[in-house]
Chain A
Amino acid sequence: ETGVTQTPRHLVMGMTNKKSLKCEQHLGHNAMYWYKQSAKKPLELMFVYNFKEQTENNSVPSRFSPECPNSSHLFLHLHTLQPEDSALYLCASSRRQGAGGYTFGSGTRLTVV
C-alpha cells in the first residue's frame, strides 16, 4: 500500500449509468491527478488539482467530471460513458505540481458495457 487508495477496484457500468471513482491520500500532498491507462497506449493525464484548484483539463470529454473537495480526496464522476472509455483509471498525488515524483494508487478497472 503506497498511501494512495482507490475505490472501487473494479467497476462494470452500462452506458446510461452514473458512477463515481474515489481516491484518497493521507501523505500530506497538495496535488492530485487522474490518469487513464488504455492497452497499447501511454498513460493519459486527464485532470490536475493543485491545492484543491483544478489547474489542467486536457481536453477530456464532459462525461468525465472531477471533484476535489479537499486536498486528501479526489473523485471522478462518470455518466453516459462509451465502451471506448473502458480502461484502468489511476489516481496519483505529489507534494505539489513539478515537485518531482508522484505516488500512485492501484487503479480502478472500468468496463463500460
Chain B
Amino acid sequence: AQTVTQSQPEMSVQEAETVTLSCTYDTSESDYYLFWYKQPPSRQMILVIRQEAYKQQNATENRFSVNFQKAAKSFSLKISDSQLGDAAMYFCALENSGGGADGLTFGKGTHLIIQP
C-alpha cells in the first residue's frame, strides 16, 4: 500500500514571506503522480500543483513550486510571496498511474496560517 506523510501539522508565515511545506511518500510503483491540494474553510479541495514522477523538472504554478526528489521520495511545496488568501489546509497526495485500490492517497495535512 502507498503512504503519504506530512510531518508539519501547522505552519505559520508572515505575509509576503516564503514558506515550505514538507511531504514524503512511499510507493512500490515507478510511474505515479504527486499533488498538492488546498482546502480552505469553504471545504472545496482545490488542486494547487501536479507533478508527474517521470519528469525530472520541478513543477511550478505562479507563486507555487515543488522540490521533487524522487530517490528520497520527497515532494515539498514552496509558496513565495505568501498572501492572506493562501491560508488553508494543504494536503499532499499520490496516485499511481495504473489506478488501483488506493486511488488518490492523502497525507494528514498541514494547516497554513498567514500572519498579516
| Known interface pairs A88-B43, A98-B96, A100-B97; A42-B50 also in contact (CB < 8 Å) | no
Partner of A42, one of B35, B98, B103, B106: B106
By the criterion CB–CB under 8 Å, are A107 and B108 in contact?
Answer: no
By the criterion CB–CB under 8 Å, are B108 and A98 in contact?
Answer: no
| Known interface pairs A42-B107, A43-B91, A100-B50; A106-B97 also in contact (CB < 8 Å) | no
Nearest A residue (CB) for B42: A106
Interface size class of B (residues with CB under 8 A): 20 to 34
Interface size class of A (residues with CB under 8 A): 20 to 34
Chain B contacts with A in 21-35, Cβ cutoff 8 A: 33, 35
Q: Could you list which residues of chain B lie within 8 angstroms of chain A, going by C-beta atoms?
A: 4, 33, 35, 37, 42-47, 50, 52, 91, 95-109
A-B contact pairs, 11 of them (CB 8 A): A33-B104, A42-B109, A45-B103, A56-B103, A88-B43, A90-B45, A98-B98, A102-B45, A103-B47, A104-B45, A105-B44
Would you call A62 an interface residue if the criterion is a C-beta within 8 Å of the partner chain's C-beta atoms?
A: no
Contacts of B33 in A (CB 8 A): 100-101
Contacts of B47 in A (CB 8 A): 101-103
Would you call A86 an interface residue if the criterion is a C-beta within 8 Å of the partner chain's C-beta atoms?
A: no
